[in-house]
Chains A and B, each alone.
Chain A
Amino acid sequence: NAGVMQNPRHLVRRRGQEARLRCSPMKGHSHVYWYRQLPEEGLKFMVYLQKENIIDESGMPKERFSAEFPKEGPSILRIQQVVRGDSAAYFCASSHPDRRMNTEAFFGQGTRLTVV
């Protein structure tokens, strides 16, 4: 059973470009969470999605950031017109929807975004 897969592992973008980060959850998991870790800081929750629905986006910046989790395919975190302050590690986690199962969040290895 493959774990949470994130790609790319490293992404370099110039200021003003768009960054698209992908996350494939573990098999059977339909809940996805995105977290951001700025350099020398802790992980901060960004958004929680279920298939085709955004459940909680209280940690998302108001502008330039969006997330989706379509019926088919991976979850996408999209950052438009990137700025240097967006440079960070972005982690995706997934969990099983059934409370009777192990509903712990399992994290991917992250995407390290560098804006130059």
Chain B
Amino acid sequence: DAKTTQPTSMDCAEGRAANLPCNHSTISGNEYVYWYRQIHSQGPQYIIHGLKNNETNEMASLIITEDRKSSTLILPHATLRDTAVYYCIVRVAGSGGSNYKLTFGKGTLLTVNP
């Protein structure tokens, strides 16, 4: 799986949009960008994933650049409960075989301030 680079930490004011960047310059054509987050002492939570088109769900939006070498996770209206470590992971989609294991880096600690 391609390697990702994320800032160590970020701050965001409550109610504002949180934009979390991720660089994945060695991404392959069949690799997706996944985002998970881990709120303190809890299990990781799936947020969103995408291949090349921008994606949106009830939790967040994912913007992938045209060359696919970077992406941004957007939490449109951050709340205090969004304080967590956010992981950007690049991997081939679908289950089966050793492709599936998720390689978690250090992620970005997002702190939402009141």
Chain A residues with CB under 8 Å of chain B are: 4, 31, 33, 35, 42-45, 48, 55-56, 58-59, 89, 91, 93, 95-97, 99, 103-110
Known: A42-B105, A42-B106. A95 touches B100 (CB 8 A): yes
Interface SS of chain B: helix, strand, loop or mixed? Answer: loop
Q: Which residues of A contact B77 (CB under 8 A)?
A: none
- Interface assignment of B45: CB less than 8 Å from any CB of chain A: yes
10 contacts between A and B (CB under 8 A): A31-B100, A42-B104, A43-B102, A59-B101, A96-B95, A99-B94, A104-B34, A105-B100, A109-B42, A110-B43
- Interface assignment of B50: CB less than 8 Å from any CB of chain A: no
B93 touches A106 (CB 8 A): no
Interface size of B by CB at 8 A reads 23
A43 touches B101 (CB 8 A): no
Bound state CA distance, A4 and B43, in angstroms?
Answer: 10
Contact residue among B43, B93, B106 (Cβ-Cβ distance under 8 Å from A91)? B43
- Interface assignment of B103: CB less than 8 Å from any CB of chain A: yes
Q: Which residues of A contact B45 (CB under 8 A)?
A: 107
B101 touches A48 (CB 8 A): yes
Q: Which residues of A contact B97 (CB under 8 A)?
A: 55-56
Contact residue among B93, B98, B104 (Cβ-Cβ distance under 8 Å from A56)? B98
